[in-house]
Amino acid sequence: MIFIVVKFPVKPELADQWPELTREFTEATRAEPGNKWFDWSRSLDDPNEYVLVEAFDDDAAEAHVKSDHFQAAIAADGPMHSALAATPKIISRQIDGDGWDVMGEMQID
């Protein structure tokens, strides 16, 4: 599985609009074959930063990057690009597993 975390620094005046600015991209990515999850969160420490946690089957990440919706999302004239305050930071790794596991250190009955 390819596991990816990306931090998006959004311009303060557009931070509240980020979920709508990324909606089309998010929906298209979630519909891709091989997409396991594509989840946005807003940082508690910096309200202008959104964190994307995503995962793909090993052979699906390349198709994602080549997709029309990905290319439109990263285009210099696209709504996401123009809303960013700086270049996003990414961690992308191939890891063992096929999804989320139950946390062994904590159990809720």
Write down the pLDDT at residue 60: 81
pLDDT of residue 109: 86
pLDDT at 90 > cutoff 90: yes
CATH of 2-94, one of 3.40.1260.10, 2.40.10.120, 3.30.70.100, 3.30.410.10: 3.30.70.100
Helices (H), the chain: 18-21, 23-30, 61-66, 68-74, 79-83
* Residue listed under structure tokens 């311009």: 11
Condensed to tens digits (0 to 9), the pLDDT of residues 21-40 reads: 999 999 999 999 999 999 99
pTM above 0.85, yes or no: yes
Amino acid 78: pLDDT: 87
Distance CA 75, CA 85 (A): 15
